[in-house]
Structure 1
Amino acid sequence: MPVYVYWGEDDFALEKAVVELRDKILDPLWTSFNYTAITPEQPNAIIDGLNQAMTPPFGAGNRLVWLVNTSVCTQCPDNVLAELQRTVSVIPETSYLLLTFRNKPDERVKSTKLLKQFATIKSFALISPWDAEGLERAVKEAARNVGVTITANAASMLASSVGNDTRLLYNELEKIRLYSNGSDKSQDEDVVLSLVRNTTQNSLQLAAAIRKGDTDKALTLISELLAASEPSLKIVATLIGQFRTWLCIKMMIESGERNQQEIASSCEVGNPKRIYFLQQEVKSLSLSRLVSTLPLLLELEVSLKQGAAELPTFQTKVIELCRLCQAN
């Protein structure tokens, strides 16, 4: 099919797939004539893209029209829908139409139903940080793409280190590839330990240390993260996300909800099997204490955005948060 729909929050993986598609269908000598990327700011972007997709390519190869960050699968005016219905089924075999956006297509929208009939749809959703098996599969697939052989333990360690940051994963695998210098030998966990920055997992470990009120460990982790040049606002975002999840879980427990599927849906936890472990994690924390953590985290975020010194600001708030969690 000459129509492709790519969606998801994994920007790096999605952009990589776009490049692969472009290189696959375009003649490199005619790319400047046959490749068009249309952003939503351009007037009549969708209709213009559809019209260009109906235009035969110049010279050799095919034509690719890319509608970047289009809203066609979330809201589609009647005139755009009519043009889509008229065009999508008759696009020439030498022309390709690519639509990309971050959010999942709305199944209720007529344009989504239409594209499901004629388009190849691929998801580039981020893997949940808790999905250890999914993260390890992603590491192994990326290693094959880069041309690196790693052991199972090394894949597990790498998955724990980079989490669902695909861009960072490929950067770290490239370092391992250069280190291996073309060797067929499987690179083990010692190589990963020596070359790879452990950031995502440490941010989650920091959240766990704060939850347990372990001030010493929390202060050590924040020092290590900042020393490794981990962006301070990214650390705060991880903490806020984790504590919001814990708060939601606690609220559902307090309300008497026991259905793990319902709790997972309400708290936006991708894997319902994770709910049991989250329930155990918040068992010793009171609802009021969890509620009180969020203002402190937001104060931390505001201070950092206003240019406060990172380490002392983090240390002060981490101590406050640990003391708060100790008070249960």
Structure 2
Amino acid sequence: MPIYLYWGEDDFAMNQAITTLKEDNLDRDWIQFNFDKFVGDKEDSILSALMQVMTPPFGSGDRIVWLFETNIFQSCSEELLTQLQRTITQIPDNTHFLLTSSKKPDARIKSTKLINKYAKVVEFALISPWQTEILIKKVEEVAQEKQINLTPSAIKILASCVGNDSRLLWQELEKLAIYQGNNKQPIDEETVKSLVNVSTQNSLQLAQAILDRNIPSALELVTDLITLNEPALRIVATLVGQFRTWAIVKTMIESGEKDEKKIAESADISNPKRIYFLKQEIKNRSSKELLSSLPILLELEAGLKLGADPLNILETKIIELCNV
């Protein structure tokens, strides 16, 4: 009874894993009979999936029943839980039950505990943009998987270019694979710069330009990001997260706190060593200035959600932020 729980916000990486699961277990000639996908946010649809998962596959190959974007890990009625308990141990060995959700399962509820007991659980979390070492490691792993030879400096520049966008990483590595062909010489930094569409400009660099009150650089960065089809709300989300972190860290420093672990805990930073670098970034800004930036960012977010032109409102608010 193979059972899988895939969850997280990195939908591209999750879909890659689902594709692999299908390729490994389904016979292409029988896929229309042995692959079923059910929407997972309605109880009747979930019950239908539980009935289907008990059906042996037709022809050759296994069966996969996919319960897509399910909410049973956030709430589950007693009736549904009872049916889940009855079904979970009776699933045939050649039927694979896949449950996916973008939300983190609530570990406190019975349905989550039940599935965790039997399922292979895989998290597909987006890497935080500032976690450069993890982003670099991710590039290394995917490059090795695709058998692409990159120099260390090329790996670093590619990680800077694509950030935590798994889809973009795969697209750019496919392009580099075509360029490399049968040539075993490692691809260097200059080649990556010439072939990769995304420049090293990203939302974190935009936040730093705003912090430095560098209006020309900030406006150039936001224009490049919009030109490269970076979603405006994603840009704002990164800015909000960065300025919130800066504000918390600066506020605690000004209050006299010296314990970097306590500062990191308050700012929701997993690695206390990062505090040293944050201190350097905000040494010339006060907590009052940083806190004053947050309402402007909220106004920017609200404007975008109300339909304002992304580039116009971003430019206006970025100038305002630089002048705080």
State if a TM-score over 0.5 links the two structures. Answer: yes
In the TM superposition, what is the alpha-carbon distance from 1:263 to its structure 2 partner? 4.1
In 1, Cα distance between the equivalents of 2:257 and 2:66? 45
In 1, Cα distance between the equivalents of 2:201 and 2:268? 20
In 1, Cα distance between the equivalents of 2:312 and 2:47? 53
In 1, Cα distance between the equivalents of 2:306 and 2:117? 50
Residue equivalent to 2:161: 161
Name the SS of the counterpart of 1:194 in structure 2.
helix
Residue equivalent to 1:269: 269
Instruction: Give ranges in structure 1 of 5+ residues lacking alignment.
Output: none
CA contact (8 A) 1:128 1:164 kept: yes
Q: Once superposed, which parts of structure 1, at least 4 consecutive aligned residues long, lie more than 6 Å away?
A: none
Name the SS of the counterpart of 2:323 in structure 1.
helix
Residue equivalent to 1:211: 211
User: Aligned pair count?
Assistant: 324
In the TM superposition, what is the alpha-carbon distance from 1:199 to its structure 2 partner? 5.4
Residues 60-118 of structure 1, C-alpha deviation per residue, up to 9 Å, x if partnerless?
A: 11110001111222222212221222221221101110011112222212222222221
In 1, Cα distance between the equivalents of 2:89 and 2:241? 43
Letter of the 1:219 counterpart: L
Higher mean alpha-carbon deviation, 136-145 vs 54-63, is at: 136-145
1:257–1:99 CA distance, 2 compared to 1 (3 A)? farther
In 2, Cα distance between the equivalents of 1:81 and 1:43? 11
In 1, Cα distance between the equivalents of 2:232 and 2:33? 43
In 1, Cα distance between the equivalents of 2:215 and 2:305? 24
In 1, Cα distance between the equivalents of 2:262 and 2:36? 44
CA contact (8 A) 1:163 1:201 kept: no
CA contact (8 A) 1:73 1:111 kept: yes
In 2, Cα distance between the equivalents of 1:79 and 1:264? 43
Higher mean alpha-carbon deviation, 6-15 vs 83-92, is at: 83-92
CA contact (8 A) 1:128 1:270 kept: no
Name the SS of the counterpart of 2:197 in structure 1.
coil
In the TM superposition, what is the alpha-carbon distance from 1:302 to its structure 2 partner? 4.3
Note the aligned Cα RMSD (angstroms): 2.4
Letter of the 2:174 counterpart: E
Name the SS of the counterpart of 1:58 in structure 2.
coil
1:311–1:41 CA distance, 2 compared to 1 (3 A)? closer
Residue equivalent to 2:109: 109
In the TM superposition, what is the alpha-carbon distance from 1:223 to its structure 2 partner? 3.6
Aligned 1:106-255 pairs, distance under 5 A: 106-198=106-198, 201-254=201-254
In 2, Cα distance between the equivalents of 1:108 and 1:302? 34
Higher mean alpha-carbon deviation, 293-302 vs 208-217, is at: 293-302
Residues 40-72 of structure 1, C-alpha deviation per residue, up to 9 Å, x if partnerless?
A: 355522222122111111111111000111122
Residue equivalent to 2:282: 282
Kindly, what percent of the aligned residue pairs are identical? Answer: 49
In 2, Cα distance between the equivalents of 1:115 and 1:228? 41
Name the SS of the counterpart of 2:295 in structure 1.
helix
CA contact (8 A) 2:243 2:290 kept: yes
Instruction: Give ranges in structure 2 of 5+ residues lacking alignment.
Output: none
With the length of structure 1 as denominator, give the TM-score of the two structures: 0.89
1:103–1:226 CA distance, 2 compared to 1 (3 A)? closer
CA contact (8 A) 1:199 1:230 kept: no
CA contact (8 A) 1:162 1:201 kept: no
In the TM superposition, what is the alpha-carbon distance from 1:4 to its structure 2 partner? 0.7
Aligned 1:13-28 pairs, distance under 5 A: 13-28=13-28
In the TM superposition, what is the alpha-carbon distance from 1:262 to its structure 2 partner? 4.8
Q: Are 1:59 and 2:59 an aligned pair?
A: yes
Higher mean alpha-carbon deviation, 303-312 vs 21-30, is at: 303-312
Name the SS of the counterpart of 2:272 in structure 1.
coil
Q: Are 1:3 and 2:3 an aligned pair?
A: yes
In 2, Cα distance between the equivalents of 1:106 and 1:6? 14
